[in-house]
């Protein structure tokens, strides 16, 4: 397993960043889903933390989070997700791809930032993506999270000043949001996506991965022509109840992304 998240982008081709929800449809099922992503060729795994108010997430991921929180005895939140990731990473050993948690600021604050950071490091988790953590509020987290890559988001509405700050403060990679709004499957990609990716790349030396709205192998291949990585979430979560279906779609996506040179 590579230290940090940037190891997913060192293979000389675009990377597939695959998202699944922790605890969905239950704990054992989400562990099977993580294994399926490895078998399916994912370069980096984004593991969602179930949360009651996921502002950036669309209906598929929201529903999965609700099921995870209600289906597991005692609930399922940040601590349980870290434990799940630790078990998975220990099982995979050196064969594990880099893994990032996707969570929100409130669960981090409730658990306590120093405690969260220590738990993440102990689990072997490479980084975190926190959509509602703006760069100007980041120091309170960054001061306790050494050794953990924190990925910030760039959006179509980001000003040049914001892009510069995101590029400067991110570690591992920069997450480029393809469109405004929430996550979810879309029939078409924005026409100006390549231009947006170019703007983000001009603001950082890190790899740039594009997410929000990418759901098919065909779309993933288009995104991979301009981006260093492609993030797919809702389409995978929709199949998370069946590890075989999940593995098959992940393999199709990986083949499409990896085939772009």
Provide the annotated active-site residues.
46, 57
The reported pTM is 0.94
pLDDT of residue 187: 59
pLDDT of residue 192: 87
pLDDT for the residue 1: 45
Measure the CA–CA gap between 72 and 93, rounded to whole angstroms: 26
In order of their start, the domains of the chain are 10-253 (3.20.20.70)
For residue 77, give the 3-state DSSP assignment.
coil
Q: For every one of its 261 residues, what pLDDT tens digit does the chain have, with 9 covering 90 and above?
A: 445 899 999 999 999 999 999 999 999 999 999 999 999 999 999 999 999 988 878 899 999 999 999 988 889 999 999 999 999 999 999 999 999 999 999 999 999 999 999 999 999 999 999 999 988 889 999 999 999 999 999 999 999 999 999 999 999 999 999 876 556 555 567 678 999 999 999 999 999 999 988 999 999 999 999 999 999 999 999 999 999 999 999 999 999 999 998
Q: What is the DSSP string of 88-141?
A: HHHHHGGGPPPEEEE--HHHHHHH-HHHHHHHHHHHT--EEE-TT--GGGTHHH
> In the prediction, which pLDDT does 191 show?
78
């Amino acid at each position: 397993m590579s230290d940090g998240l940037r190891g997913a982008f060192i293979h000389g081709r675009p990377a597939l960043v695959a998202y699944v929800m922790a605890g969905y449809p239950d704990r054992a099922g989400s562990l099977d889903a993580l294994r399926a992503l490895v078998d399916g060729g994912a370069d980096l795994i984004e593991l969602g933390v179930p949360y009651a108010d996921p502002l950036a997430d669309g209906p598929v991921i929201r529903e999965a989070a609700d099921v995870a929180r209600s289906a597991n005895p005692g609930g399922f939140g940040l601590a349980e997700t870290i434990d799940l990731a630790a078990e998975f990473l220990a099982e995979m050993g050196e064969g594990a791809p880099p893994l990032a948690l996707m969570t929100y600021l409130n669960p981090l604050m409730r658990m306590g930032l120093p405690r969260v950071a220590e738990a993440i490091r102990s689990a072997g988790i490479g980084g975190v993506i926190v959509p509602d953590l703006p760069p100007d509020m980041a120091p309170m987290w960054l001061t306790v999270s050494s050794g953990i890559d924190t990925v910030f988001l760039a959006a179509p509405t980001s000003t040049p000043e914001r892009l510069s700050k995101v590029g400067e403060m991110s570690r591992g990679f920069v997450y480029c949001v393809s469109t405004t709004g929430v996550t979810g499957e879309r029939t078409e990609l924005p026409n100006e996506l390549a231009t947006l990716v170019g703007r983000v790349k001009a603001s950082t030396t890190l790899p740039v991965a594009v997410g929000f709205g990418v759901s098919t192998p065909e779309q993933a291949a288009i995104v991979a022509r301009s981006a260093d990585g492609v993030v797919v979430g809702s389409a995978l979560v929709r199949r998370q109840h069946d590890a075989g279906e999940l593995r098959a779609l992940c393999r199709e996506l990986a083949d499409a992304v990896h085939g772009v040179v």
